[in-house]
Amino acid sequence: MAGTTLPTPLYPLYQEKFGFSELTVTVVYAVYAFAVIGVLLLVGNASDAVGRRAVLLWGLGCAAASAACFLCATGLGWLYAGRLLSGLSAGLFTGAATAFVMELAPYGGASRATFVATAANMGGLGCGPLLAGVLAQYAPWPLYLPFAVHLALLAGSAAVLLRLPETVRERQPLSTVRPRRPALPVRVRAVFAPAAIASFVGFALFGVFTSVSPAFLAESLDVDNHAVSGLVVALAFFASTAGQLAVGRVGVGRSLPLGCAFLLAGLALLAGALHWNLMSLVVLSALVGGAGQGLAFRGALAAVAEASPAGRHATVISTLFVVAYAGISVPVIGVGVLTDPIGLENAGLVFIACMAVLVTTAAAYLLRRPVPTRT
């Protein structure tokens, strides 16, 4: 997962090297999300058939191919290919790795396994920009060394993975895997609407942080230190991990509306950062918005899973992930489209206004119709 966010603090360097616009940065970033959505829809349940280990090895292979594309990059096409392969890798890992961790947990270790899966997922996403930023700033070969290190980490991961026991007992050929169409049972729709909106906004906020925040820090705040820009992005993911872990104490019923409130506060702080060009508000927006994303998304997952009828959990959760990853891609490209005519700061403010309307709508709906929880 660290590999999917590794290029984040390096985009300004690629812009300087290849001479492309901010719109192109957002499209390069969004290609990743489209690839994740494609995998979730087409082969999201592949590990149930062919086994967890095989799918995770494919995922590591795609991640290695992605790193190789960035190492060989001599033009924009290599970046698109690298992001596409990174998205394929993340899509393969999204369900299979979490299921593998849960199934390998010892008896009574389900809660600890959930913590490990959450920390590995969001923590990995946070470590990517931090690692790349530090290496780009303080080590030689800034556009090459981060991906060489990533390849070494992938090799170590593959060695460990090959030693793990397969947990799928009755395996089937890949030909039995069928694409899954997003679908919602009637009883889930009332819960799904606010959950999906909150997930969309939370992932959209992450999308903006990981695609255009380095450019904003450089252009508006004169922050050219790649380690600092990587750290700001990492803070949002680390805060999300903390928010997800807090759901156990807050409770599912309260975590979703509370997450919406934190997201709204994070958007407001980001608006203040754009308007007044204050680094402190950028950091606060990353922390508050990240915590809100974690609260809202884990609460959303729990709420829709609880409302789903038996045998439909995977389909409903996959649909939620599709909406969430649409949030990473579509609004981010919108910011890129608006950047040239009205400037990066104004484009960011338009994005914030749209996301604020969405998350306020979800919060108002939840206040009128709270998410039902089991007693």
Q: Which residue has the higher pLDDT, 322 or 110?
A: 322
Q: Which residue has the tokens 């308007």?
A: 275
For CA atoms 51, 181, 82, 290, the dihedral sign is negative
Q: Which two tokens stand for residue 273?
A: 């950062």
Question: Would you say residue 84 has pLDDT above 60?
Answer: yes
pLDDT in tens, 190-248: 889 999 999 999 999 999 989 989 999 998 999 999 999 999 999 999 999 999 989 88
Q: Which two tokens stand for residue 318?
A: 């996959």
Q: Which two tokens stand for residue 180?
A: 């899954």
Say how far apart CA 116 and CA 322 lie, in whole Å. 23
Q: Which residue has the higher pLDDT, 115 or 138?
A: 138
pLDDT of amino acid 44: 79
**pTM of the predicted protein model:** 0.91
Question: Domains in the chain, ordered, with CATH?
Answer: 2-165+181-368 (1.20.1250.20)
Q: In 3D, which of 63, 266, 55, 91 has the Cα closest to residue 167?
A: 55
Say how far apart CA 334 and CA 329 lie, in whole Å. 9
Distances (CA, A) of 185 to 154, 189, 366: 39, 7, 20
Q: Which two tokens stand for residue 287?
A: 């922390």
pLDDT in tens, 302-320: 888 788 876 566 678 778 8
For CA atoms 234, 236, 237, 239, the dihedral sign is positive
Q: Does residue 107 come out as left (phi exceeding 0), alpha (psi in the -120 to 50 range) or beta?
A: beta
Question: Would you say residue 268 has pLDDT above 90?
Answer: yes
Q: Give the residue-averaged pLDDT of 272-281.
A: 95
Of the pLDDT bands very low, low, confident and very high (cuts 50, 70, 90), residue 375 is very low
Whether the CB-CB separation of 177 and 50 falls below 8 Å is answered with yes
Q: What is the mean pLDDT of the chain?
A: 91
For CA atoms 367, 321, 128, 31, the dihedral sign is negative
pLDDT of amino acid 48: 85
Q: In 3D, which of 261, 290, 284, 258 has the Cα closest to residue 272?
A: 284
pLDDT of amino acid 241: 93
% pLDDT > 90, the chain: 67
